Amino acid sequence: MKTNPLIKILASSALALTSMASVTLVHTTNAQAASSTCDPSLLAKATSKVNITFEESMAGGAVGGTGNKGKLAALIASYNASQNKVHVTDVNDTGGYTDTWTKYVASLSGSGSTPNVVMFAQEDTQAAADTQSVMPISTCLNADKKASVKTFVTKAINAYTIGSTQVGMPFSVSTPVMYYNKQAFAKSGIKSPPTTMAQLIADQKLLQNHGYKYGVALKKDPWITTTWMGLADLPVLNNGNGHTRRATAATFNNATSQAYWNSMQTIIKNGGLASSATGNITTAYANIFAISTDDAGITFDTTAALGSIQDALPLFKNVTLGVAPLPTLTGKSVGSTPPGGNGLFIPKANSNLETAAAWDFIKYLTSAATIAKWSTGTGYIPIRTDSAAAWKKALNATQFGWYNVAYTAFSKGKSDNATAGSVVGAYADIQGDLVTALNGLTQSPWPSASSLLATAQNAATAHILSYNSRL
Amino acid sequence: MASKQRRLAGRTGSYALLTLLAFIVGFPLYIIFAGSLMSLKEITSVPPSLFPMHPIWSTFRDAFVGGNLGQYLAVSFFQSGIIVVGQVLTSILAAFAFAYIQFPWKRTIFVAMLATSMIPFEVTVTANLQTVAALGWSETMQGLVVPFLATGFGIFLLRQAFLQIPKEMHEAAVIDGYSSWKFMWRVAVPLARPSIAALAVFSFLGAWNQYLWPLLETGSNKNIQTIQMGIRGVGGQVSTANVSLAAAAIAVAPLLILLVFFQKHLVRSLTAGAVK
Query: By mean pLDDT, which of A452-456, B162-166, B220-224 is the weakest?
Result: B220-224
pLDDT at B255 over 70: yes
- Write the Ramachandran bin of A101: left for phi over 0, alpha for psi from -120 to 50, otherwise beta: alpha
Q: What pLDDT was estimated at residue A195?
A: 98
Interface membership of A27 toward B (CB under 8 Å)? yes
| Cis status of the peptide bond prior to A193, with omega within 30 of 0 | no
Q: How far is A468 from chain B (nearest CA, A)?
A: 23
Q: What pLDDT was estimated at residue B145?
A: 97
**Nearest residue to B246 via CA among B69, B46, B49, B42:** B69
The pTM score is 0.85
Amino acid sitting at position A394 = A
Q: Among A8, A15, A18, pick the best mutation site for testing chain B contact (most B Cβ within 10 A).
A: A18
Q: What pLDDT was estimated at residue A96?
A: 86
Determine whether the interchain pair B237/A11 forms a contact, defined as Cβ–Cβ distance below 8 Å: no
Q: What is the DSSP string of A334-376?
A: SS-PPP-SEEEEEETTS-HHHHHHHHHHHHHHTSHHHHHHHHT
Determine whether the interchain pair B43/A3 forms a contact, defined as Cβ–Cβ distance below 8 Å: no
Q: How far is B81 from chain A (nearest CA, A)?
A: 17
Q: Do the beta carbons of residue A55 and residue A118 sit within 8 Å? A: yes
Cα B66 from Cα A64, distance rounded (Å)? 7
Give, in degrees to the nearest 5, the angle at Cα A443 between A441 and A446. Answer: 60
Residue B2 or A320, more confident: A320
Give, in degrees to the nearest 5, the angle at Cα A23 between A21 and A27. Answer: 105
Residue A248 or B194, more confident: A248
For residue A272, list chain B residues with Cβ-Cβ distance below 8 A: none
- The average confidence (pLDDT) of chain B is 90
Determine whether the interchain pair A25/B124 forms a contact, defined as Cβ–Cβ distance below 8 Å: no
CB-count burial class (<10 Å; 0-12, 13-18, 19+) for A292: buried
Average pLDDT for B75-89: 97
For residue A307, list chain B residues with Cβ-Cβ distance below 8 A: 237
For residue B212, list chain A residues with Cβ-Cβ distance below 8 A: 102
* Strand A161-162 to A165-166 pairing: antiparallel
For residue B170, list chain A residues with Cβ-Cβ distance below 8 A: 1
**Nearest residue to A378 via CA among A119, A71, A153, A55:** A71
Cα B152 from Cα B164, distance rounded (Å)? 19
Cα A77 to its chain centre, rounded Å, is 24
Give, in degrees to the nearest 5, the angle at Cα A428 between A422 and A434. Answer: 80
CB contacts < 8 A (A, B): 229
pLDDT at B276 over 50: no
Q: What is the DSSP string of A79-110?
A: HHHH-SSEEEEEEE-TT-HHHHHHHHHHIIII
Q: What pLDDT was estimated at residue A196?
A: 98
Determine whether the interchain pair B238/A309 forms a contact, defined as Cβ–Cβ distance below 8 Å: yes
Determine whether the interchain pair A94/B149 forms a contact, defined as Cβ–Cβ distance below 8 Å: no
Cα A296 from Cα A300, distance rounded (Å)? 11
Q: What pLDDT was estimated at residue A64?
A: 44
CA distances from A232 to A24, A347, A405, A443 (A): 53, 36, 18, 26
Of A2, A14, A62, which is closest to B179 when you measure between CB atoms?
A2
Q: Do the beta carbons of residue A223 and residue A176 sit within 8 Å? A: yes
Q: What pLDDT was estimated at residue A306?
A: 82
Q: Do the beta carbons of residue A342 and residue A168 sit within 8 Å? A: no
Cα A422 from Cα A378, distance rounded (Å)? 24
Q: What pLDDT was estimated at residue A24?
A: 41
User: ipTM score of the complex?
Assistant: 0.78
Q: Do the beta carbons of residue A21 and residue B148 sit within 8 Å? A: yes
Q: What pLDDT was estimated at residue A31?
A: 39
Q: Do the beta carbons of residue B150 and residue A17 sit within 8 Å? A: yes
For residue B130, list chain A residues with Cβ-Cβ distance below 8 A: 24, 26-27, 29, 109-111
What residue ranges of chain A have pLDDT lower than 50?
19-32, 62-65
Q: Do the beta carbons of residue B232 and residue A94 sit within 8 Å? A: yes
Of A1, A19, A23, which is closest to B183 when you measure between CB atoms?
A1
pLDDT band at B179 (very low <50, low <70, confident <90, very high): very high
**Nearest residue to B269 via CA among B195, B190, B205, B161:** B195
A55-78 per-residue burial string, b: 16 or more CB within 10 A, e: under 16: bbbbbbbbbeebbbbebbbebbee
Q: What pLDDT was estimated at residue A62?
A: 43
Q: Do the beta carbons of residue A55 and residue B220 sit within 8 Å? A: yes
Cα B126 from Cα A27, distance rounded (Å)? 11
Cα B31 from Cα A280, distance rounded (Å)? 13
Query: By mean pLDDT, which of A168-182, A386-400, B118-132, B257-271 is the weakest?
Result: B257-271
Cα A204 from Cα A190, distance rounded (Å)? 10
Q: Do the beta carbons of residue B47 and residue B163 sit within 8 Å? A: no
| Dihedral sign (CA A300, A301, A302, A303) | negative
